[in-house]
Amino acid sequence: MAFVERVFSGVQPTGNLHLGNYLGAIVNFVKMQETHNCIYCVVDLHALTQPVEVWGGPSELARNTREVTAAFIAAGIDPKKHIVFNQSQVSGHAELAWIFNCVARVGWLNRMTQFKEKAGKDRENASVGLYDYPVLMAADILLYRATHVPVGDDQKQHLELSRDIAQKFNNDFGDSIRGHGFNDGMYFPLPEPFITGPATRVMSLRDGTKKMSKSDASDYSRINLTDDADTIAQKIRKAKTDPEPLPSEEKGLEPRPEADNLVGIYAALSERPKAGVLREFGGGQFSSFKNALVELCVAKLSPIAAEMKRLVADPGHVDAILIEGADRARAIAAETMKATQDIVGFVRKR
């Protein structure tokens, strides 16, 4: 069956939205609006998988949900043409996740590296939700039968699991799927990851081997989307580098993770390939490259920060966007849930 192309992706409202989230995901969310129908979700159910100290408790969750929504809109997502909402308003996410829990295999989840990293050594104490996170993510995407998912590189393995779940559901229920009019036995599409650009994995400014992340204890490891110009300048000037001048060719970046990261950020923000950036800055010292990077970062991020500030100052307006988006999302989700319930054999009101 040819599926109608549809984009779905989400961002967790866990605070400290950063340049990695922006370049790895949100920039592509904005681009894909031109070619696809898009659904962008603030995945608040996912936030709960971490200890409460990480997501900050109820008032922080609500504040961060509005802040991520504001970031989407400030970055250029149009909530009238596309759908923007928060996950917990559409109960289908949790309902489909249960069905998928019974499709996914424990062995598949045991291979998920993000769980291993986030649970760390204290695995016994991690929430069941953290372990099950990728199944809920599969439900998020497939509830809308989405075909394309723009994400950062760290989500690649979870996307593969979503494809495995879709495939196994289609296989397990193939006869029933055909019996309900889907003649090729494919009810769920196998969603394609869309991981592209020179900054699919932005690294920490303090350690070029670690991903830039919301939960890093050091605020100097990341550029937050709400940072002001002075803070951005300080963070970039203090970013770890090495003593060599910048190389003139991309190959010269390979053994130099911090240099590679800063050049990747510059390339992504200026929408140029890394090779072009190195043609301009290769052979020069980091100090002058960092000055240019500060200027570019401030020019690109300051208008977004200002618009975010304006939007979060009016929570009623942001909530109205989420409520309207959830109504539209719920209508699509209801169709998927009805068909899924019929395929599985659940008796329901007609």
Closest residue to bound ligand AQP by CB: 24
Q: How far is the CB of 178 from ligand AQP (least distance, A)?
A: 34
Q: Using the rule CB under 6 A, which residue among 36, 82, 145, 214 binds ligand AQP?
A: 214
Instruction: Please choose, out of 16-24, 34-42, 85-93, 318-326, the segment that lies near ligand AQP by the rule CB under 6 A.
Output: 16-24
E strand or H helix that includes residue 40:
strand 37-42
* Cβ atoms 74, 304 nearer than 8 A: yes
**211 labelled catalytic:** yes
Distances (CA, A) of 270 to 89, 283, 299, 305: 37, 20, 10, 18
Q: Work out whether 65 is an interface residue with ligand AQP (CB under 6 A).
A: no
Q: Work out whether 159 is an interface residue with ligand AQP (CB under 6 A).
A: no
**118 labelled catalytic:** yes
Q: Work out whether 235 is an interface residue with ligand AQP (CB under 6 A).
A: no
Could you say which of 210, 211, 238, 251 is catalytic?
211
Quick one: 215 or 288, whose CB is closer to ligand AQP?
A: 215
Number of residues that bind ligand AQP (CB under 6 A): 19
Grouping H, G, I as helix, E, B as strand and the rest as coil, residue 9 is: strand
327-330, Cβ contacts within 8 angstroms, sequence gap of 24 or more: 328/83, 328/85, 329/39, 329/41, 329/83, 329/85, 329/89, 329/90, 329/144, 330/89, 330/90, 330/92
Q: Using the rule CB under 6 A, which residue among 15, 24, 134, 325 binds ligand AQP?
A: 24
Instruction: Please choose, out of 101-109, 148-156, 269-277, 303-311, the segment that lies near ligand AQP by the rule CB under 6 A.
Output: 148-156
Q: Using the rule CB under 6 A, which residue among 6, 7, 8, 14 binds ligand AQP?
A: 14
Quick one: 163 or 343, whose CB is closer to ligand AQP?
A: 163
Scanning the structure block, which residue is given the tokens 């997502």? Answer: 77
Token pair belonging to 280: 């301009």
Q: Using the rule CB under 6 A, which residue among 8, 15, 21, 236 binds ligand AQP?
A: 21
Q: How far is the CB of 155 from ligand AQP (least distance, A)?
A: 4
Q: Work out whether 215 is an interface residue with ligand AQP (CB under 6 A).
A: yes
Quick one: 136 or 326, whose CB is closer to ligand AQP?
A: 136
The DSSP secondary structure of 147-159, one letter per residue, reads SEEE--GGGHHHH
DSSP letter, residue 246: P
Could you say which of 31, 81, 116, 118 is catalytic?
118
Token pair belonging to 311: 């939007």
Q: Work out whether 20 is an interface residue with ligand AQP (CB under 6 A).
A: yes
Q: Using the rule CB under 6 A, which residue among 41, 112, 146, 202 binds ligand AQP?
A: 202
Is the backbone of residue 57 left (phi > 0), alpha (psi -120 to 50) or beta? left
Contacts of 196 (CB under 8 A, 6+ apart): 28
Q: Using the rule CB under 6 A, which residue among 7, 11, 75, 223 binds ligand AQP?
A: 11
Q: How far is the CB of 31 from ligand AQP (least distance, A)?
A: 14
* Cβ atoms 162, 141 nearer than 8 A: yes
Token pair belonging to 68: 């991520």
Q: Work out whether 137 is an interface residue with ligand AQP (CB under 6 A).
A: no
Q: Work out whether 25 is an interface residue with ligand AQP (CB under 6 A).
A: yes
**168 labelled catalytic:** no
Contacts of 141 (CB under 8 A, 6+ apart): 8, 149, 162, 191
284-313 burial: b if 16+ Cβ within 10 Å, else e: eebeebbebbbeebbebbeebbebbeebbe
Quick one: 214 or 274, whose CB is closer to ligand AQP?
A: 214
User: Where on the chain is the footprint of ligand AQP (CB under 6 A)?
Assistant: 11-12, 14, 20-21, 24-25, 151-152, 154-155, 200-202, 211-215
Positions marked catalytic: 118, 211, 214
